[in-house]
A and B are shown apart, each in its own frame.
Chain A
């Protein structure tokens, strides 16, 4: 079975502080991992995917197969980063499984 775990429901950081949103997965094969984001009053959208190995809006995420993690990181949080973040995995039969989400709150 494939599973995605996001242990934090809410993460509150000060503006300019580093951010790390945790994501751990369970999957026996080679997964494809994603981070999706939902800003207030906007629809859910893709933030980044691990195969692209790119930085989007200053965020990066590295797939660590040894720790089965795909944590989302940003060195300096901005107010506009406040949103709901979902980690997701594509595994068996191309099924996309989401974590429960973490709300990031960036305060002044």
Chain B
């Protein structure tokens, strides 16, 4: 069966510090991968998605970047965190069936607080 992991579960970082959140998927090959953020009082917002190694699409211009160094690894990064980066970050995967309408499966999330 497939599983998706995210770490860390919670993170408190000072403004201006770097960020690296990791997401890994097991039990499937060549998944589509996604990073979402949920800010307080707002819905889930798609930040990045990837259909393959090294292929990243950015949905919202911001202070963050994403990378996919391996087939089942997706990393969310920032060089300098802003207060507005605080939120709940979710990684998700779906099967690469084309069309992108397959069910997305979510990780447990990372709660980031920037002070």
Interface residues of A (CB under 8 A from B): 4, 6, 32, 34, 36, 43-46, 49, 86, 88, 90, 93-101
Number of interface residues of B (CB under 8 A): 21
* Min CB gap A93→B, angstroms: 8
Give the CA-CA distance A78 to B32 in the complex, in Å: 35
Give the CA-CA distance A86 to B43 in the complex, in Å: 8
* Min CB gap A94→B, angstroms: 3
* Min CB gap B67→A, angstroms: 20
Task: Tell me the interface secondary structure of chain A in the complex.
Answer: strand
**Which residues of chain B from 77 to 115 have any CB-CB distance to chain A below 8 Å in the complex?**
90, 92, 99-101, 103-109
Interface residues of B (CB under 8 A from A): 34, 36, 41-46, 59, 90, 92, 99-101, 103-109
Residue contact A43 to B46, C-beta cutoff 8 Å: no
Identity of the chain B residue whose Cβ is nearest the Cβ of A38 in the assembled complex: B106
Known A-B contacts A94-B101, A95-B59; the reply to A101 vs B43 at CB < 8 A is yes
* Min CB gap A102→B, angstroms: 11
A residues less than 8 Å from B45 (CB atoms): 98
Residue contact A98 to B106, C-beta cutoff 8 Å: no
Residue contact B44 to A43, C-beta cutoff 8 Å: no
Identity of the chain A residue whose Cβ is nearest the Cβ of B49 in the assembled complex: A95
Residue contact B43 to A90, C-beta cutoff 8 Å: no
* Min CB gap B57→A, angstroms: 9
